[in-house]
Amino acid sequence: MSEFPAGVDFAGSEHRRVVIIGSGPAGYTAALYAARASLAPVVITGIEPGGQLTTTTDVENYPGYADGVMGPEMMEDFQRQAARFGADIRFGAVTHVDFSERLFRLVVDEETPLTADVVIIATGASAKYLGLENEKRLLGRGVSACATCDGAFFRGLPLAVVGGGDSAMEESLFLTRFATKVTLIHRRDALRASKIMQQRVFDHEKIEILWNTVVIDVLGGGEVTGVRLRSTVTGEEHDLAVGGFFVAIGHKPNTALFSGWLEMDSQGYLVTEPRSTYTNIPGVFACGDAQDHVYRQAVTAAGSGCMAAIDAERFLAAQEAESG
């Protein structure tokens, strides 16, 4: 929890029935359903409108796009559809919240007060990266943090995965469907993944593990051609030729804003009631990657955005019935 900035005055501030924090598949789908239910939602997009998909090139696994679609283009389609039904979409970031009582109080961009009867959180999650300059430059051009999303684009190529947990094991195993070889790079001499996942990797003929090794650079001009590696034991460096580089060192949900207000798990994902999007505070709902650490797909995020809007609509109807 943090105090509101000095000078922010909620007297006479704008009030909306539904405020959606975050965009992307979850936020825009929630906006579409809420708008069609005549709830006149406001979407505060966040600093990256469209979320992680704005850094994704080809999307081929979302239903309805038979020939595939560019990630940014798909998010523009989502945004236009929500706006068509009356969603008020505003660029900005919610920087402070107060869920202590209804009306819920929000501050946008450190200065603009806003109150809401219902808040839907769709702030998503961010993949963790190594922080290399070329890693960022080649993101979407051979660098990926989602094998399920992008693996099929690398058919017939040698690939590299960095990481040591279950996610890295899952990514490596999935990529063997397409790659000629998968090199798993780990900085230590033992994996931290579950024993069963480790054994599956050890047993797979297409996977080779490079122990005690770190990635110090990603190579390539317009697309990835290899990675530069350094031994943590000897300090020696060498290049590994690969056609794609997958970073599997975890994801971080974008939920720090709600710390102290909403229940979270040990990783920071928002906890919701089973088979719903209800958080521990009535009237606050969570959807998409901010609360999903299992699937993390555009289609599941959109589905949970739909659920959040329906949950919000029913919650407001119940409140009105009680008060009326």
Active site residues: 146, 149-150
> One-letter amino acid identity for 3?
E
For the sheet with 213-219, list strands across it. 213-219, 226-231, 237-241
Name which of 22, 29, 17 is nearest 74 in CA terms.
Answer: 29
Both tokens of 155, joined, read 């058919």
**How many CA atoms are closer than 13 Å to the CA of 20, on its beta-carbon side?**
38
- For 297, residues 6+ apart whose C-beta sits below 8 A from its C-beta are 61, 148, 149
- For 291, residues 6+ apart whose C-beta sits below 8 A from its C-beta are 121, 253, 269, 270, 271, 272, 277, 304
d(C-alpha 164, C-alpha 25), whole Å? 29
CA 266 to chain centre: 17
* 18, 33 Cβ separation under 8 angstroms: no
